[in-house]
Amino acid sequence: MQRLCVIAILAACLDAVTAQYNFKWAPATINAPAVVGFHVPGVPAWTQWFSTNNKDAGESPPGNIQKCTSGGDNVWGASFDDGPTPYTPRLLEYFAAKKLKTTFWVVGYNVQANPDILRATYDAGHEIGIHTWSHTHLTQLSDDEIIAELVYGARAVFEVIGKYPKYFRPPYGDVDGRVRSLAALVGLRSVIWSRDSQDWVYYANATAINLIVPNNFKSWIDAGSKMDISLEHDFDPSTVSVGIKAMDMLLDAGYTLKPFGECIGETALYGNSILPKFFASGLFESKLAPVQTATEVHGIPIAVITSTYRSEAAVKTSTKTSGVHAAASFSTGFLAVFLALL
């Protein structure tokens, strides 16, 4: 009887762990021309809903945010794209040691793969922004597909932190007036950068990345750059390592590192007013369009993004067991060990 009670208690705990995040709604990545990349299918009914319920926002959308506007000339808006990944925690440790915060622009399918890391990032006080669902070129998609990329990306973030951001970063900085108008319908504004570290170019070459990226930051510091927002990444150990080195350079030069929201004076980073209404409408669950089955494109696995510099990171993160499954595996193993001791 005692053994059965223990089994029941541990089974209940396991159910609680596996129920922590629900990604049953998550779409399969679909095939598309190689020049476009992989993206989620568009849903005309979603586009119509946003066009009807937030039409004024899409008529004259604001431009991209590219630099800091608050906090003084020595403020620097550091940001890291493409996570969460298994390498993100090292950045969290660094910023915790420095007692500083930063901004992470997260990809939906990476959130699905690493929800616990995103939760830890948010709980540590860092800012979270949307970086679409599948990291594709938005300007090359249809209106419906752009809306879907933003909606799925937003839902992934909400699933973990319980909030909907008001800002998104277009992958590759690939954004135009049409994309901004559609994003405005979803309650989102575009944020890009003024300084590109180029870590994504050289991440696979240890010598190059550790020479070129620090030299880029040195040149900006020497030139007296003011109120910049920099682009860096947490998809690879090399980009994380050089990112830490760059942050130390900025601090040593007297810059004040601030997350994006603080560097533009934003006090309601997650105050998206339109997305909660959309999800309450029931259209997300009904979808009103089939989610296509994952396939290969030109023999390339769906996990591999068309951009060569992110292919390795994409494979690593997409094949990694999700946080839910990892927690379930741990709990199952714990159950077996515990029972063996009885």
Give every residue of the chain whose pLDDT is below 70, as ranges.
1-19, 29-37, 289-342
- Amino acid symbol at 233: H
- Amino acid symbol at 115: P
Q: What is the pLDDT of residues 27-56, one digit of tens each?
A: 875 554 544 567 888 999 999 999 999 988
Give the residue among 88, 151, 148 at the shortest CA–CA distance from 124. 88
Alpha-carbon distance 230 to 40, whole Å? 28
How would you class 242 by CB atoms within 10 Å of its CB: exposed for 0-12, middle for 13-18, buried for 19 or more? Answer: buried
Q: Tell me, what's the pLDDT at 296?
A: 33
Alpha-carbon distance 84 to 240, whole Å? 12
Of 81, 228, 234, 236, catalytic = 81
81 is catalytic: yes
Q: And the tokens for 118? A: 């995103």
233 is catalytic: yes
Give the architecture (CATH level 2) of 29-320: Alpha-Beta Barrel (3.20)
Q: Tell me, what's the pLDDT at 277?
A: 97
Q: Tell me, what's the pLDDT at 52?
A: 94
Which residue(s) pair with 39 in the sheet? 30
What residue spans of 19-163 are helical by DSSP H?
44-53, 55-59, 88-98, 108-113, 115-123, 143-161
Of 126, 131, 233, 236, catalytic = 233
Alpha-carbon distance 286 to 310, whole Å? 33
Q: What is the pLDDT of residues 106-149, one digit of tens each?
A: 999 999 999 999 999 999 999 999 999 999 999 999 999 999 99
